[in-house]
Structure 1
Amino acid sequence: MTEQLAFFMGPSPEPEGLRYAADFVSPEAEQELIRHVAALPLQPFQFGQYEGKRRVASFGFSYDYTLRRLREAKPIPDWLAPTIKEVEAFGGQGTLIRQVLCTEYDVGVGIGWHRDKPHFDRIFGLSLGSACKFRFRRSAGEKWQRFTLDAAPRSLYMMSGASRQVWEHSIPAVEAPRYSITFRTMAEPRT
């Protein structure tokens, strides 16, 4: 009977390849990470000639929207090493974080619909400071299929597979200051 009900209910609205872990870091670790990120020389996000309202700092690699390519960035700071080790364990065997993006969202700031650049493979996001609505959408004919993940403070999400390649994601304007640390693995070179 359960299989028959599942057939009528349809697939789960959650994007395939999306994983979520609440309370990924302790409240103490969260405060320490926020202090480190807030102390970085954060700069407004540059999208070609446009400037975003969120402030960022990239490590390992950054994407140059003017040149349309990856470029090397400052090395990943040592203070991120313990968190990276935990993120890599969450990602499973073979997970190697090579790029980190630290972001500050002030009140009223969000990020529009997008997919991360194809140079990256799996994406991990650590939410700090306040909760946010992490929205997903994908084309379903003339409409959109949608899913919203309530990303609590100290939680981690991972996007891989369809959640990474097919679905777009965005964050509406936040109601309280928020920080995030995005950890990325690199895509295999195309041959």
Structure 2
Amino acid sequence: MPDDLFGPAIPGLAIAPDLVGRDEERQLIQAIDAAPLEPFRFQGWTGKRLTASYGWRYDFDDRKFAETEPLPAWLLPVRDRAAAVAGLAPHELPHALLIRYDPDAGIGWHRDRPVFEQVVGISLGAADTMRFRRRAGTRFERHMLTLEPRSAYLLSGPARWEWEHSITPADRTRWSITFRSLRR
């Protein structure tokens, strides 16, 4: 189902269109491509998307959460704006995940790891679809959201904890920056 006329239909889901400008988007894409991206690994399986983590890192192979390299300076201005979307101070988003989705790469149904609280994602490059589902009896309630280039989304409250989400594979390259707060 599409969003209603008044915004996202899921409590805790917010959208911030045009969080970054076109020139900044190009610079962010160049910086992501220059980062030490590696294929995503999940319990021995290798995904199609390329990722790099800063601040904190969750290793899906050994199921451990640990500090890693600090956020690079080029991420700090966009983190400031992501924090404002979430109503947080910038230091409350100590984790950044960079992702490059080449054509046909997506993410299956999941909920972010429980060590994280609020999630702010920034979409760059191509538009894509974020799908949401939650169990309602023997069926799933579903919603879809178009992730426009340069926009941000916030997952908090019910959108974060009651709904799973996935990203559909696209036919063009898309990049994202995901900032997360830590659960207290």
Structure 1 segment 3-152 matched on structure 2, within 5 A: 14-94=9-89, 96-152=92-148
One-letter amino acid of the counterpart of residue 144, structure 1 = F
Residue number among 163, 178, 182 corresponding to 1:182 in the alignment: 178
1:137-167 CA-partner distances (Å, limit 9, x unpaired): 0001111100001110000000000100010
Change (3 A) 1:78 1:138: same
CA contact (8 A) 1:13 1:146 kept: no
4+ residue segments displaced more than 6 Å? none
What's the % identity of the aligned pairs?
42
SS class of match (1:117) = coil
Residues 9-36 of structure 1 deviation map (CA, whole Å, 9 limit, x = unaligned): xxx9722100001111100110010000
Tell me how far 1:72 sits from its aligned partner: 1.4
Amino acid at match of 2:37: L
* Separation in structure 2 between the aligned mates of residue 100 and residue 117 of structure 1, nearest angstrom: 14
Structure 1 unaligned residues grouped into runs of 5+:
1-11
TM-aligned CA deviation for residue 81 of structure 1: 0.8
For 1:145, give the aligned amino acid. E
Question: Which segments of 5 or more consecutive residues in structure 2 lack a partner in the other structure?
Answer: 1-6
What secondary structure, in the 3-state scheme, does the structure 2 residue paired with 1:104 have? strand
Local SS of the residue matching 1:90? helix
Q: CA RMSD in A?
A: 1.3
* Counterpart code for 2:116: F
Distance 1:58 1:93 in 2: 20
TM-score, normalising length from structure 1?
A: 0.89
Q: Distance in 2 between matches of 1:13 and 1:25?
A: 20
For residues 122 and 38 of structure 1, the distance between their equivalents in structure 2, rounded to whole angstroms, comes to: 25
TM-score, normalization by structure 2: 0.93
